[in-house]
Structure 1
Amino acid sequence: MPTKSKKTKNVRVAAIGGLGEIGKNMYCIEYNDKIVVIDCGIKFPEDDLLGIDYVISDYQHLIKNRDKILGLVITHGHEDHIGGIPFLLRQLPGIDIYAGPLALALIQSKLEENGLTKDCQLNEINEDSVLDFGEMSVTFFRTTHSIPDTLGVAVHTPEGIIVQTGDFKFDLTPVDGQPAPNLQRMAKLGSDGVLLLMSDSTNAEIPTFTKSERFVGTSIRNIMGAIEGRIIFASFASNISRIKQASDVAIEQGRKIAVFGRSMEAAIKNGIELGYLDYPKDTLIEPKDVNKVSGDKLMILCTGSQGEPMAALSRIANGTHKQISIVPGDTVIFSSSPIPGNTASVNHVINGLEEAGANVIHGKVNNVHTSGHGGQEEQKLMLRLMKPKFFMPIHGEYRMLKIHTELAQLCDVPKENCFIMENGDVLEVNHEKAEVVDHFPASDAFVDGNGIGDIGNAVIHERQLLSEDGLVAACATVKMKTGQILSGPDILSRGFIYMRESGDLINQAQKQVYHAIKQCFREQQHVNESMLNEAIIDALQDYLYDKTERKPIVIPMIISV
Structure 2
Amino acid sequence: MSHPHPELSAPPPLAEGGLRVIPLGGLGEVGRNMTVFEYDGRLLIVDCGVLFPEDHHPGVDLILPDFDPIRDRLDDVEALVLTHGHEDHIGATPYLLRERGDIPLVGSELTLALLDSKLREHRLKETVHHQVREGDRMTLGPFDLEFIAVNHSIPDALAVAIRTGAGLVLHTGDFKMDQLPLDGRITDLRAFARLGEEGVDLFLTDSTNAETPGFTPTEKSITPVIDQVFRDSAQRIIVACFASHVHRVQQVLDAAVAHDRKVAYVGRSMVRNMAIAKELGYLTVPAGVLIDAKELPTLAPERQVLISTGSQGEPMSALSRIAQRNHNLVHIEAGDTVLLASSLIPGNENAVYRVINGLARWGAKVVHKGNALVHVSGHASAGELLYCYNIVKPRNVLPVHGEIRHLLANADLARLTGVPNVVIAEDGVVVDLVDGVAEIAGKVACGYVFVDGSSVGDITESDLKDRRILGEEGFISIIVVVDSVSGKVSSGPEIHARGNALEGSSFEEIKQPIIDALDRTIAEGNTDAYQLQQTVRRVVGRWVNSTHRRRPMIIPVVIEA
Counterparts of 1:62-77 in structure 2, within 5 Å, are 62-77=70-85
Query: CA distance change for structure 1 residues 308 and 129 in 2, over 3 Å: closer, same or farther?
Result: same
Distance in 2 (alpha carbons) for counterparts of 1:183 and 1:479: 81
2-side partners of 1:250 and 1:421: how far apart? 46
Counterpart position of 1:99: 107
Instruction: From 292, 303, 315, give the equivalent of 2:298.
Output: 292
- Residue 499 (structure 1) shift: 4.3
Counterpart for residue 7 of structure 2? none
Code of the residue aligned with 2:473 in structure 1: it is: D
In structure 1, how many angstroms separate the alpha carbons of the residues matched to 2:423 and 2:130? Answer: 33
Alignment match, 1:36 = 44
Contact 2:514 2:539 in 1 (8 A): yes
1:122-167: per-residue Cα shift (whole Å, max 9, x none)? 3311113222124321111100010000000111011211111001
- 8 Å CA contact 1:236–1:336 kept in 2: the answer is yes
Could you tell me which of 155, 165, 171 is aligned with 2:162?
A: 155
Work out whether 1:437 is the aligned partner of 2:441: yes
Equivalent residue for 1:140? Answer: 147
Q: Give the letter for the 1:472 counterpart.
A: I
Verify the 8 A CA contact 2:167 2:436 in the aligned structure 1: no
**Conserved? CA contact 2:168–2:199, under 8 Å:** yes
What SS does the corresponding residue of 1:180 show, helix, strand or coil?
Answer: coil
User: 1:540 corresponds to which residue?
Assistant: 540
1:243 aligns with 2:277: no
Distance 2:484 2:444 in 1: 48
Q: Distance in 2 between matches of 1:433 and 1:197?
A: 12
Matched with 2:123 is 115
**Alignment-derived partner of residue 46 in structure 1:** 54
Provide the C-alpha distance between the structure 1 equivalents of 2:441 and 2:318, rounded to a whole number of angstroms: 48
Does the CA-based 8 Å contact 1:203-1:400 persist in structure 2? yes
- In the other structure, the counterpart of 1:264 is 270
Identity level (%): 37
Q: Deviations over 1:333-369 (max 9, x none)?
A: 0000110110000000000000011111001541110
Q: 5 Å matches for 1:174-193?
A: 174-175=181-182, 177-193=183-199
**Aligned-partner Cα distance in 2 for 1:353–1:133:** 52
Deviations 1:408-434 (A, max 9, x none): 0111102xx110111111111134322
Q: Partners in 1 of 2:533 and 2:128 — Cα distance?
A: 52
Residue 555 of structure 1: aligned partner? 555
Asked if the contact 1:364–1:370 (Cα under 8 Å) also holds between the matched residues in 2, the reply is: no
Match of 2:487 in 1: 483
Pair 236,391 (structure 1): closer, same or farther in 2 beyond 3 Å: same
Kindly report which structure 2 residues correspond to 1:216-365, keeping only aligned pairs within 5 A, or say none. Answer: 216-363=222-369, 365=371
Assess if the C-alpha contact under 8 Å between 1:202 and 1:373 holds in 2: yes
Normalising by the residue count of structure 2, what TM-score does the alignment of the two structures yield?
Answer: 0.95
Task: Give deviations 1:195-246, integer Å, cap 9, x for gaps.
Answer: 0000000001101100011111222122222222110010001110001011
Q: Deviations over 1:90-120 (max 9, x none)?
A: 23322111111111111111110111124x3
Q: Secondary structure at the match of 1:49?
A: coil
- Structure 1 residue runs of 5 or longer lacking an equivalent are 1-6
- Within a 5 Å distance, the mapping from 1:475-554 to structure 2 comes to 475-500=479-504, 502-503=505-506, 506-524=507-525, 527-554=527-554
Look up the match of 1:87: 95
Q: Secondary structure at the match of 1:300?
A: strand
Which secondary structure does the structure 2 equivalent of 1:194 belong to? coil
Which residue in 1 is equivalent to 2:12?
none
Alignment check: 8 A CA contact 1:491 1:509 kept? no
Judge conservation of contact 2:473–2:500 (CA < 8 Å) in 1: yes
Matching residue of 1:4: none
1:457 shift after superposition: 0.8
The one-letter code of the counterpart of 2:522 is F
Q: Distance in 2 between matches of 1:123 and 1:531?
A: 60
Give, in angstroms, the shift of residue 559 of structure 1: 3.2
CA deviations 1:308-342 (Å, max 9, x no partner) are 00000000001111111111221000000110110
Rounded Cα–Cα distance in structure 1 between residues aligned with 2:523 and 2:474: 31
* In structure 2, C-alpha distance between the alignment counterparts of 1:186 and 1:480, rounded to whole Å: 79
Query: Aligned residue for 2:414?
Result: 408
Aligned residue identity for 2:17:
K
Please, what TM-score do these two structures have when normalized by structure 1?
Answer: 0.95
1:66 offset after TM fit, Å? 1.0
Amino acid at match of 2:457: G
Identify the residue that residue 377 of structure 1 maps to in structure 2. Answer: 383
Deviation string 1:160-212 (CA, Å, 9 cap, x unpaired) is: 1111100110011100x341111111111111110000000000110110001
| Preserved CA contact (<8 Å) 1:462 1:553 | yes
In the TM superposition, residue 68 of structure 1 has moved relative to its aligned partner by: 1.7
RMSD: 1.5
In structure 1, give the amino acid aligned to 2:531: M
Whether the 8 Å CA contact 2:256–2:289 is kept in 1: the answer is no
